[in-house]
């Protein structure tokens, strides 16, 4: 054992091994040692047998209290890692686990993790050219890659954000300001919203993500400015209903400013009819935003390309690489089809990006963002594309879709299960049907029981949602390594638990 590592365990304080600042003289030596001990713990986490420990909230609270009592005196990294393992790594939810089937949390690819380590170590703030130099070019390269691959115009542009919620917020902000500028020559950025904004309306399907409502509130239009349009039997926005609601809205004196097409709804993975929505957006002079937080990456696949017909007509689009491109959180982009529209949020600060320094060859990405200091999240994607390559990444997307469809085909005729739709993306929404029972309250109780006992066991994690007032279970499938046989075995466990409920009650 080297002198350093020996001392670091025995006498951490004298050894000053707690110093991890990169400006500490021995930091470079420490780096190897730190990374090595850390990877041991990560490997331990990755080989864990359960989705989560199943320990009660009370137990976890006690554990946390005990660890807090140890206080904030310095200790060796090894000691801190051991504490972290007991408190967090042994308990927390493992998204890479084959039976983690609940939310839109994907397993992550290794090159992206390496990219994240480098991004944090270098600590680039990707806001102005003078702070990030070639990092600026690499983020721009990733933006240009995705805009051209999905078929946006040559004038398209984009920026990395913290997630779909922020991307949607920024899109609706641009939509609002663009409408006011085009129709009233009003510069909202300068003078704030005017009286007309009281009547601004944003249209989206009733299956769209709640961040549309939240964004409307944050940009001063309020929840009530969001008009939700009914969906058809495939959970896709009903275009006839959209048209009649637009007409009604105008007749009532309201001002439709934008429509959001969701490509990949959170619960059902359904795709709104983009091409028809684009025609209406054009006819009614609306900003067309695509929320592709979940389904956006599927534009790259042969299987789903057709859902993106009309993409050249959109104004803005959200894509989350941390939902379905196997990237660690955060990795999301807001894309716009006409880069001029970023002027609605750009700002020039004397100390950071004064207008007189503006230079096309040395762009300041801050002009496209509502953030100032911003992480170099694009590096993860850059590493992923360099190491794994585009083709392989796209095949993972096709794999998870095939897996979902295959599982559905094998299970759809099961008398004890009721599926509500044929999947178009990677979610399955279903419930357990107790034989010979028609009482809805019993179905609800049984399915809640199934979800809870599975979660408490720590062995399987599934999600749930409501559809037409009824309680359903949900699989979100994002792991290309899963097999339909594994999923059928989870469905068997679900049926066993359903039968168990009957016996107990
Ligand atoms: C998850 C999701 C969002 C929000 O994205 P975050 O990255 O979680 O902020 C927005 N829209 C849709 C359709 C989503 O599924």
| pTM for this prediction | 0.94
Candidates 377, 363, 364; CA nearest to 334 is 377
**Percentage of residues of the chain with pLDDT beyond 90:** 88
**Ligand 1 site, residue 262, Cβ cutoff 6 A:** yes
How far is the centre of ligand 1, averaged over its atoms, from the C-alpha of 209 (Å)?
A: 7
How far is the centre of ligand 1, averaged over its atoms, from the C-alpha of 294 (Å)?
A: 7
As beta bridge partners, residue 415 has: none
* Per-residue confidence (pLDDT) for residue 353, from 0 to 100: 87
**Ligand 1 site, residue 332, Cβ cutoff 6 A:** yes
| Peptide bond just before 210 cis, omega within 30 deg | no
Q: How many CB atoms lie within 10 A of CB 240?
A: 11
pLDDT band (50, 70, 90) for residue 20 = low
pLDDT band (50, 70, 90) for residue 21 = low
* Per-residue confidence (pLDDT) for residue 462, from 0 to 100: 97
Q: Which atom of ligand 1 is nearest to the CA of 322?
A: 7
Sign of CA dihedral 346, 350, 356, 358: negative
Is residue 158 within 8 Å of residue 336, measured between CB atoms?
Answer: yes
Strands across the sheet containing 427-432: 100-101, 461-467, 470-476, 427-432, 417-419
Which residue has the CA at smallest separation from atom 15 of ligand 1? 266
**Ligand 1 site, residue 104, Cβ cutoff 6 A:** yes
Candidates 259, 301, 500; CA nearest to 394 is 301
**Alpha carbon distance 142, 3 (integer Å):** 44
* Per-residue confidence (pLDDT) for residue 22, from 0 to 100: 66
Over range 72-96, report the average pLDDT. Answer: 94
Structural domains present in the chain: 124-387 (3.40.640.10), 391-504 (3.90.1150.170)
Which residue has the CA at smallest separation from atom 4 of ligand 1? 164
Candidates 502, 496, 492, 480; CA nearest to 426 is 480
How far is the centre of ligand 1, averaged over its atoms, from the C-alpha of 104 (Å)?
A: 9
Hey, which of 104, 164, 424 would you mutate to test ligand 1's pocket, going by the most ligand atoms within 8 Å of its Cβ? 164
Over range 328-343, report the average pLDDT. Answer: 97
For residue 181, give every residue at least 6 positions away whose Cβ sits within 8 Å of its Cβ, in sequence order, or none. Answer: 187, 188, 344
Taking only the tens place, the pLDDT of each residue in 88-120 is 999 999 999 999 999 999 999 999 999 999 999
**Alpha carbon distance 48, 336 (integer Å):** 42
Q: Is the pLDDT of residue 2 over 70?
A: no
pLDDT band (50, 70, 90) for residue 418 = very high
- Triad 287, 290, 292: Cα angle to 5°: 165
CA distances from 447 to 382, 414, 497 (A): 42, 16, 9
**Alpha carbon distance 221, 215 (integer Å):** 9
Over range 413-436, report the average pLDDT. Answer: 97
The torsion angle over the Cα atoms of residues 382, 387, 390 and 392, rounded to 10 degrees, is -140
Q: Which atom of ligand 1 is nearest to the CA of 262?
A: 13
How far is the centre of ligand 1, averaged over its atoms, from the C-alpha of 105 (Å)?
A: 11
**Ligand 1 site, residue 165, Cβ cutoff 6 A:** yes
- Triad 470, 475, 481: Cα angle to 5°: 170
**Percentage of residues of the chain with pLDDT beyond 70:** 95
Least confident of 130-134, 358-362, 401-405, 415-419: 358-362
Which residue has the CA at smallest separation from atom 10 of ligand 1? 164
pLDDT band (50, 70, 90) for residue 1 = very low
**Ligand 1 site, residue 294, Cβ cutoff 6 A:** yes
Candidates 302, 303, 271, 316; CA nearest to 164 is 316
Please state, rounded to an integer, the average pLDDT across all residues of the chain. Answer: 94
Q: Is the pLDDT of residue 343 over 70?
A: yes
How far is the centre of ligand 1, averaged over its atoms, from the C-alpha of 333 (Å)?
A: 11
Least confident of 49-58, 250-259, 344-353: 344-353
* Per-residue confidence (pLDDT) for residue 352, from 0 to 100: 86
Hey, which of 204, 237, 292, 294 would you mutate to test ligand 1's pocket, going by the most ligand atoms within 8 Å of its Cβ? 294
Sign of CA dihedral 481, 485, 486, 490: positive
Please compute Rg for the chain using Cα positions: 25
Q: Is the pLDDT of residue 28 over 90?
A: no
**Ligand 1 site, residue 293, Cβ cutoff 6 A:** yes
Q: Is the pLDDT of residue 11 over 60?
A: no
Q: Is the pLDDT of residue 504 over 50?
A: yes
Is residue 311 within 8 Å of residue 299, measured between CB atoms?
Answer: yes
Q: Is the pLDDT of residue 4 over 80?
A: no
Q: Which atom of ligand 1 is nearest to the CA of 164?
A: 5
Taking only the tens place, the pLDDT of each residue in 355-400 is 888 888 999 999 999 999 999 999 999 999 999 999 999 999 999 9
Q: Is the pLDDT of residue 449 over 50?
A: yes
**Alpha carbon distance 504, 64 (integer Å):** 35
Q: Is the pLDDT of residue 235 over 90?
A: yes
Taking only the tens place, the pLDDT of each residue in 270-305 is 999 999 999 999 999 999 999 999 999 999 999 999
**Alpha carbon distance 67, 86 (integer Å):** 9
**Ligand 1 site, residue 135, Cβ cutoff 6 A:** no
Candidates 135, 95, 130, 101; CA nearest to 115 is 135
> Phi then psi for 369, rounded to 5 degrees?
-125, 155
How far is the centre of ligand 1, averaged over its atoms, from the C-alpha of 164 (Å)?
A: 4
* Per-residue confidence (pLDDT) for residue 317, from 0 to 100: 98
**Alpha carbon distance 226, 64 (integer Å):** 42
**Alpha carbon distance 418, 204 (integer Å):** 28
How far is the centre of ligand 1, averaged over its atoms, from the C-alpha of 208 (Å)?
A: 10
**Alpha carbon distance 348, 308 (integer Å):** 36
Over range 411-421, report the average pLDDT. Answer: 97
* Per-residue confidence (pLDDT) for residue 23, from 0 to 100: 64
**Alpha carbon distance 363, 346 (integer Å):** 12
* Per-residue confidence (pLDDT) for residue 18, from 0 to 100: 52
């Amino acid at each position: 054992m080297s002198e350093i590592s020996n001392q670091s365990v025995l006498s951490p304080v004298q050894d000053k091994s707690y110093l991890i600042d990169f400006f500490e003289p021995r930091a470079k030596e420490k780096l190897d040692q730190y990374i090595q001990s850390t990877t041991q713990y990560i490997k331990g986490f990755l080989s864990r047998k359960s989705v989560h420990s199943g320990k009660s909230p009370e137990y976890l609270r006690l554990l946390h209290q005990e660890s807090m009592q140890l206080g904030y005196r310095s200790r060796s990294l090894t000691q801190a890692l051991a504490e972290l393992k007991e408190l967090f790594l042994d308990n927390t939810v493992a998204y890479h686990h084959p039976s983690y089937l609940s939310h839109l949390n994907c397993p992550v690819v290794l090159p992206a993790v390496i990219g994240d380590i480098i991004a944090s170590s270098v600590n680039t703030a990707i806001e102005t050219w003078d702070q990030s130099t070639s990092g600026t070019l690499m983020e721009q390269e990733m933006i240009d890659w995705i805009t051209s691959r999905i078929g946006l115009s040559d004038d398209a542009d984009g920026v990395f954000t913290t997630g779909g919620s922020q991307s949607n917020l920024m899109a609706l902000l641009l939509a609002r300001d663009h409408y006011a500028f085009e129709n009233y020559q009003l510069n909202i950025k300068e003078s704030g919203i005017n009286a007309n904004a009281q009547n601004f309306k944003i249209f989206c399907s009733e299956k769209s993500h709640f961040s549309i409502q939240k964004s409307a509130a944050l940009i001063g239009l309020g929840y009530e400015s969001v008009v939700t349009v009914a969906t058809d039997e495939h959970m896709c926005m009903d275009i006839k209903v959209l048209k009649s609601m637009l007409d009604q809205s105008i007749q009532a004196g309201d001002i439709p400013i934008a429509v959001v097409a969701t490509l990949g709804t959170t619960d059902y993975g359904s795709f709104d009819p983009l091409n028809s929505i684009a025609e209406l957006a054009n006819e009614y002079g609306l900003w067309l935003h695509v929320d592709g937080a979940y389904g956006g990456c599927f534009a790259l696949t042969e299987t789903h390309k057709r859902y993106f017909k009309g993409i050249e007509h959109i104004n803005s689009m959200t894509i989350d690489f941390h939902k379905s491109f196997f990237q660690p959180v955060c990795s999301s982009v807001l894309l716009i089809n006409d880069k001029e529209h970023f002027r609605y949020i750009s700002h020039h600060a004397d100390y950071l990006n004064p207008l007189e320094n503006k230079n096309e060859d040395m762009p300041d990405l801050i002009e496209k963002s509502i953030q100032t200091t911003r992480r170099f999240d694009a590096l993860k994607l850059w590493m992923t594309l360099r190491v794994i390559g585009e083709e392989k990444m796209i095949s993972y997307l096709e794999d998870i879709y095939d897996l979902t469809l295959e599982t559905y085909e094998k299970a759809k005729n099961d008398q004890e299960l009721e599926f509500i739709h044929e999947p178009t993306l990677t979610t399955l929404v279903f419930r357990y049907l107790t034989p010979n029972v028609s009482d809805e309250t019993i179905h609800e109780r049984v399915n809640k029981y199934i979800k809870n006992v599975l979660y408490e066991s720590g062995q399987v994690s599934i999600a749930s949602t409501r559809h037409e007032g009824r309680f359903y279970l949900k699989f979100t499938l994002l792991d290309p390594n899963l097999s339909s046989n594994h999923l059928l075995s989870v469905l068997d466990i679900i049926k066993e638990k359903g039968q168990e409920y009957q016996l107990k009650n």
